[in-house]
Amino acid sequence: MSTATVEADRAGESGANAPVIDVHGLDKSFGDKHVVVDLSLKVGRGEIFGFLGPNGSGKTTSIRLMCGLLTPDAGSGTCLGYDIRTQSGAIKRNVGYMTQRFSFWEDLTIRENLDFVARIYEMGDRKAAVDRALADLGLTSRAGQLTGTLSGGWKQRLALAACMLHKPRLLLLDEPTAGVDPNARREFWEELHRLAAQGISILVSTHYMDEATRCHKLAYIAYGRLLAQGTVDEVIASQGLTTFAMVGPDIARLTEKLQGQPGVEQTAAFGGTVHVTGKDGALLEKTLREVTHGSGARFTPVDTGLEDVFIHLMQSATDNWGGNGGDARAKQ
């Protein structure tokens, strides 16, 4: 039995119910920029844990810190039962990492790419491992195809197959579906849930609200600070927002008129409907009644959605350089 296998067995002795990741007070700076501030988080076995936040908010750095890929300036914790400061090598042997940028050789076939990755991992029976990865991700019929001729969705499958070659217990996915069509994204997420059902934990950063709702739990990070975490329902409830949907004629003018009015914290267009959101529901309703009076427009209360919360958190966040994050927008 290899040293890595023995270490993995020892790490699992703490029990299946122990957190896969348990970190406290993580801090990281690059030069004068404080990119992760006092991060504490737990991730359970078989959980898909999503990370949301504006570009440059520290999502990727946070994920790398929690998994021992970067050393924190302060704080401590464990990943897969290993200390993130002193046992990063053992963690890396049990982690699969899929970067946002496709990073395989386009002049090699799918099989040749996977075989090369298997050689890097020094796997004993490379052919069996590659055959298994091809079958698991539905790539067997395309094994001899040049990677450079693949569509974005098939390249995505290849990248995930490479991540799974060494049978990791934790996957790190950095915006894995950027630039991929909706059908390929849906199929990719179905595969992630299949892996999670097998007990594999998954950390994934995303900007897409439909993907965020597919996660078991979420963390919202803005400019290095963790602002909210929990299930989708818990994250929405934690902000205490009230939302009304407004429809009717001349809705653009009414939306502009609502800006800065009492109780109105944000407005967001969804097709022909505008969501108007604030923390003081009674005051917000009073303002809407006054602004829409005689206009022919009408408004009704609706459940606050994750995107409403996402926009609210962005507008209230201040970045590391003293600016405001309110101009950012979520991808729908």
pLDDT digit string (tens) for 102-116? 778 999 999 999 999
Look up the pTM and report it. Answer: 0.84
For residues 110, 112, 117, 122, the Cα torsion angle rounded to the nearest 10 degrees is 140
Q: Is 87 helix (H, G, I), strand (E, B) or coil?
A: coil
Degrees to nearest 5, angle at CA 116 with 114 and 120: 115
Where are any strands of DSSP class E within the chain?
21-30, 33-43, 48-52, 74-79, 82-83, 95-98, 170-174, 201-205, 217-222, 225-230, 242-247, 266-270, 273-278, 298-302
Tokens 């009674």 sit at which residue? 282
CB 277 within 8 A of CB 265: yes
pLDDT tens digit at each of 332 positions of the chain: 344 444 444 444 345 578 999 999 999 999 999 999 999 999 999 999 999 988 888 888 999 999 988 999 999 999 999 999 999 999 998 999 987 777 789 999 999 999 999 998 888 889 999 999 999 888 999 999 999 999 888 988 899 999 999 999 999 998 888 777 888 888 889 999 999 999 999 999 988 888 999 999 999 999 889 999 999 999 999 999 999 999 999 999 999 999 999 999 999 999 999 999 999 999 999 999 999 999 999 999 999 999 999 999 988 775 444 444 443 333 33
CB 204 within 8 A of CB 173: yes
pLDDT (tens digit, 9 = 90+) per residue, 15-69? 557 899 999 999 999 999 999 999 999 999 999 999 998 888 888 899 999 998 8
Q: State residue 266 phi and psi, 5-degree precision.
A: -165, 155
Task: Determine the Cα–Cα distance for residues 26 and 35; give it in Å rounded to an integer.
Answer: 10
Q: In whole angstroms, how large is the CA radius of gyration of the chain?
A: 23
Q: Which domains does the chain have, with CATH numbers?
A: 242-303 (3.30.70.100)
Q: State residue 143 phi and psi, 5-degree precision.
A: -55, -35
CB 167 within 8 A of CB 13: no
**Crossing angle (nearest 10°) for helices 251-258 and 281-292:** 130
